[in-house]
Amino acid sequence: MSSKVSPEHPAGETGNIFNIQRFSIEDGPGIRTTLFMKGCPLRCVWCHNPEGLEAAPQLMWFDVRCIGARDCLGACPVGALQLTAEGMLIDREACDACGKCADACPAGALEVVGRRYTPTEALDEVMRDEAFYRNSGGGVTVSGGEPSMQRRFVERFLSMAKEAGLHTALDTSGYSPPGVLTRLLEHADMVLLDLKLMDPDRHRELTGVELGPVLDSARLVGTGDRPLWIRTPVIPGCTDSDENIAALASFIGEELASARRWDLLAFNNTCGSKYRRLDLEWKLEGRPLIEAARMERLADIARCSGVKEVVWSGATRRES
Ligand code: SF4
Ligand code: SF4
């Protein structure tokens, strides 16, 4: 897949999307299509979409698909690939994710993650499932990464989706300049907001950014009539203490009047291979899943917020 921007669409009017997820039932009401925008200013240690962190397209190598054909090596114009006994070495300084190696590979072992779409192209994709949205009360969700990093595309896309009669949702980390968030909210029927930690030091340590701007965004989206769904990843040793969930519950109960639902998402440890494909370190290797009883207990604490619907989901381990 080529990552080049076609000449008639300057980069500012296109969006770099790393996944278009059809038939999603977790990113808002009904059946939805979710656009995952590439690029995030946070670096949550538990992030299960590492391919969405960098704003630029990136090359990924799938070891299980590689048949050693070596066609990719000659196809690379800058000599960025070496196939060794340890696997494919990608010189990421030299690689500009042109995709020529991926085109040459007969086994599909190389892929460029991230593709540019115009708002019209993205909407055309989304409209393929219009009948499902209509019948289920669904629509389209723009997620990431952090969508506000591609403000121009997302604003244009959401406004076009609304003009087309779709229900629109914005899924944000909250780490977004208030002016940008306000502009995107004009075209969003609802908001999904990640709230992770209430301790400022732990927030900085585990996400790489300050807590203050996230809480400011929460207050911005937490008032008025627009429905708000909160999402909290429950990560063992990071966000899963009673104290953290209780502190989040107090903040949500006291300050976020538009919160309609709070999802607690149990830790998912299946993303290690994605980190390896990008030459990144998966820092939570070997960390166990959470027990179901523990998720129940945290959900009970979360219910103290007064949010009408508190739901937990995800894989859990058997009690020891
Ligand atoms: S905010 Fe979401 S996408 Fe960004 S690093 Fe955290 S978990 Fe990953
Ligand atoms: S994506 Fe392009 S630059 Fe990168 S390794 Fe493949 S052919 Fe070379």
> Which of 36, 42, 207, 265 to probe ligand 1 with, by most ligand atoms within 8 A of CB?
42
Calpha distance 28→191 (Å, rounded): 9
Confirm or reject: Cβ of 230 under 6 Å from ligand 1: no
End-to-end CA distance of the chain: 46
Q: The tokens 């090359």 sit on which residue? A: 59
Give the rounded percent of residues in the chain with a pLDDT score beyond 90. Answer: 94
For residues 163-179, give the mean pLDDT: 97
Query: Which residues surround ligand 2 with Cβ inside 6 Å?
Result: 59, 75-76, 78, 80-81, 95-101
Cβ–Cβ under 8 Å, residues 65 and 111: no
| CA 40 to ligand 1: nearest atom | 4
Atom 3 of ligand 2: nearest residue by CA position: 95
Name the pTM for this structure: 0.93
Q: Which CATH architecture has domain 58-113?
A: 2-Layer Sandwich (3.30)
> What is residue 292's three-state secondary structure?
helix
Neighbours of 273 (CB within 10 A): 13
Cβ–Cβ under 8 Å, residues 310 and 286: no
Please give the pLDDT value at position 13. Answer: 84
User: Between residues 239 and 3, which one has the greater pLDDT?
Assistant: 239
| Domain residue extents for the chain | 15-55+118-313, 58-113
Query: Which of 258, 30, 32 has the alpha carbon at shortest distance from 140?
Result: 32
Give the rounded percent of residues in the chain with a pLDDT score beyond 70. Answer: 96
For residues 64-76, give the mean pLDDT: 96
State the distance from the centre of ligand 2 to the C-alpha of 99, rounded, in angstroms. Answer: 6
Ligand nearest to the Cα of 192, by number: 1
User: Which fold is adopted by the domain 15-55+118-313?
Assistant: TIM Barrel (3.20.20)
Cβ–Cβ under 8 Å, residues 140 and 32: yes
Atom 6 of ligand 2: nearest residue by CA position: 101
Kindly state the tokens that stand for 299. Answer: 């959900």
